[in-house]
C-alpha cells in the first residue's frame, strides 16, 4: 500500500510539472503576431542603419570617416571642367589616422581640397580645417551622441573648435543625423555650421537622402545655406566590385547683402570600384543656374568632375 501511495504521489507531481510546462509553452495568436511584428521592426531598423553606413562609407562622407575606429585615408586625383570658370586638376587627401601613442581618443584628421562630402555645395566650410587634431571627449554606449574637440592647423595659427553629432532612428525606415560645428580662426573670427541629414530607405539597395546646412560667421555673407535631396542606389556588383549612383537636386543661398538664391543645381554622381578593392573611379556631371550677385542675370552652366581614388586602411 505504501509503495502504491508513493507511486501515485510521484505521478501526481510529474503531471503537475508537465501541466506547468505546457502552460508556459502555450503560444496564442496574439503573441505570435506581436513576435512577428517585433522581428519585422528589428530587421527593417537594421536594414536602415546598415544601408546608411554603407552609403557613407562607399561614397566617403568626411564625418563618418572621422568617427571610424580604425584609420582610413582617401587619396584622390580630381579633374573638373566648368563651362564658366574653365578646368582644374588637383590632388587631395581625406580621412583620419589613429594616434595610439598619444591616446586611443586622439586622431589626425585630413579634409583635403576635395569636399569629401556627398553634396558638392558643402566644399567651402570654414568650420573644418584641411588638417587638424580630433579628440573624442564623449560618446554614448549606443553611439547616438558623440562630442569631439578639434584643433585645426593653419597658417594663421591654431583653430580650436568643437563638434557635436546626434543620430537616431525616427522610424523603421527613417534615420536622422544632426551635426553642429563651431571653430574659431585668429584672422576670420568664429564660425558655426549646422547640418541635418535625413535618410528614408526604399529597399535594401536604395534610399532617399536630404541635406540641409546653415553656415554663419563673422566672415560669411550673412547666413549661407544649402538644401539638397538625393536618390542613392547600390547596383549589382560586377566581379565582386561595387557600384552605385547618386542623383541629387538642390539650391544654395545667402542672406546678405540681400536675401537670394545664388545656385540651383541638379547632378549625377557615378562611382565604381574596379581592378582592386582599394581603387575607385567617379564621374559627376551637373547642371547649374547661377547668379554671382543679387539682381544679376542667372547663367546656365555645365560642370563635369572626374575622380580617381585610392582607399587606404591601417
Per-residue confidence (pLDDT) for residue 292, from 0 to 100: 84
With respect to residue 276, please indicate whether it lies within any of the assigned structural domains: yes
Per-residue confidence (pLDDT) for residue 305, from 0 to 100: 96
Report the pLDDT averaged over residues 261-281. Answer: 95
Which residue in 183, 179, 131 sits closest to 162, CA to CA? 183
Is residue 84's pLDDT more than 50? yes
Task: State how many domains the chain has.
Answer: 1
With respect to residue 102, please indicate whether it lies within any of the assigned structural domains: no
With respect to residue 111, please indicate whether it lies within any of the assigned structural domains: no
- Kindly give, in sequence order, each residue whose CB lies less than 8 Å from that of residue 97, ignoring residues fewer than 6 positions away: 71, 73, 107, 108, 110, 314
Query: Measured between alpha carbons, how far is 247 from 207 in angstroms, rounded to an integer?
Result: 11
With respect to residue 29, please indicate whether it lies within any of the assigned structural domains: no
Min mean pLDDT across 53-62, 124-133, 143-152 is at: 124-133
Report the pLDDT averaged over residues 259-271. Answer: 95
With respect to residue 286, please indicate whether it lies within any of the assigned structural domains: yes
Per-residue confidence (pLDDT) for residue 67, from 0 to 100: 86
pLDDT band at 213 (very low <50, low <70, confident <90, very high): very high
Residue 213 phi, psi (nearest 5): -140, 140
- Write the burial class of residue 73 (CB in 10 Å: 0-12 exposed, 13-18 middle, 19+ buried): middle
Is residue 308's pLDDT more than 80? yes
Query: Measured between alpha carbons, how far is 17 from 225 in angstroms, rounded to an integer?
Result: 69
Is residue 22's pLDDT more than 50? no
Is residue 141's pLDDT more than 60? yes
With respect to residue 133, please indicate whether it lies within any of the assigned structural domains: no
Report the pLDDT averaged over residues 59-84. Answer: 88
In Å, how far from its chain's centre is CA 49? 11
With respect to residue 35, please indicate whether it lies within any of the assigned structural domains: no
**What CATH number should be reported for the domain holding residue 177?**
2.40.128
Per-residue confidence (pLDDT) for residue 127, from 0 to 100: 60
In the 8-state DSSP scheme, what is residue 40? Answer: H
With respect to residue 218, please indicate whether it lies within any of the assigned structural domains: yes
Is residue 277's pLDDT more than 60? yes
pLDDT band at 215 (very low <50, low <70, confident <90, very high): very high
- Kindly give, in sequence order, each residue whose CB lies less than 8 Å from that of residue 124, ignoring residues fewer than 6 positions away: none
Name the E strands within the chain: 72-82, 86-98, 106-110, 131-139, 145-154, 157-169, 174-185, 189-203, 206-217, 223-238, 241-254, 260-273, 279-290, 299-313
Range of the domain at 234: 42-60+73-92+158-313
Amino acid at each position: 500500500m505504501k509503495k502504491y501511495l508513493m507511486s501515485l504521489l510521484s505521478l501526481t507531481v510529474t503531471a503537475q510539472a508537465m501541466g506547468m510546462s505546457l502552460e508556459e509553452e502555450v503560444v496564442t495568436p496574439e503573441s505570435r503576431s506581436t513576435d512577428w511584428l517585433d522581428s519585422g521592426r528589428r530587421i527593417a531598423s537594421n536594414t536602415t542603419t546598415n544601408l546608411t553606413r554603407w552609403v557613407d562609407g562607399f561614397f566617403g562622407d568626411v564625418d563618418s570617416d572621422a568617427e571610424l575606429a580604425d584609420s582610413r585615408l582617401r587619396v584622390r586625383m580630381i579633374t573638373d571642367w566648368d563651362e564658366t570658370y574653365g578646368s582644374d586638376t588637383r590632388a587631395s587627401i581625406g580621412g583620419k589616422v589613429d594616434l595610439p601613442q598619444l591616446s586611443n581618443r586622439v586622431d589626425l584628421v585630413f579634409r583635403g581640397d576635395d569636399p569629401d562630402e556627398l553634396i558638392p555645395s558643402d566644399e567651402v566650410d570654414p568650420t573644418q580645417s584641411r588638417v587638424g587634431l580630433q579628440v573624442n571627449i564623449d560618446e554614448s554606449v549606443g553611439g547616438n551622441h558623440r562630442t569631439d574637440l578639434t584643433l585645426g592647423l593653419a597658417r594663421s595659427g591654431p583653430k580650436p573648435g568643437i563638434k557635436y553629432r546626434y543620430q537616431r532612428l525616427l522610424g523603421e525606415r527613417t534615420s536622422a543625423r544632426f551635426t553642429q560645428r563651431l571653430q574659431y580662426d585668429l584672422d576670420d573670427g568664429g564660425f558655426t555650421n549646422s547640418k541635418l541629414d535625413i535618410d528614408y530607405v526604399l529597399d535594401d539597395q536604395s534610399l532617399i537622402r536630404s541635406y540641409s546646412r546653415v553656415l554663419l560667421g563673422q566672415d560669411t555673407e550673412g547666413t549661407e545655406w544649402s538644401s539638397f535631396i538625393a536618390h542613392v542606389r547600390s547596383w549589382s556588383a560586377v566581379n565582386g566590385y561595387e557600384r552605385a549612383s547618386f542623383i541629387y537636386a538642390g539650391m544654395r543661398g545667402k542672406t546678405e547683402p540681400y536675401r537670394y538664391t545664388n545656385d540651383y543645381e541638379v547632378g549625377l554622381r557615378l562611382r565604381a570600384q574596379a581592378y582592386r578593392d582599394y581603387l575607385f573611379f567617379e564621374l559627376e556631371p551637373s547642371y547649374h543656374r547661377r547668379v554671382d550677385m543679387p539682381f544679376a542675370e542667372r547663367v546656365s552652366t555645365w560642370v563635369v568632375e572626374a575622380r580617381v581614388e585610392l582607399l587606404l586602411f591601417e
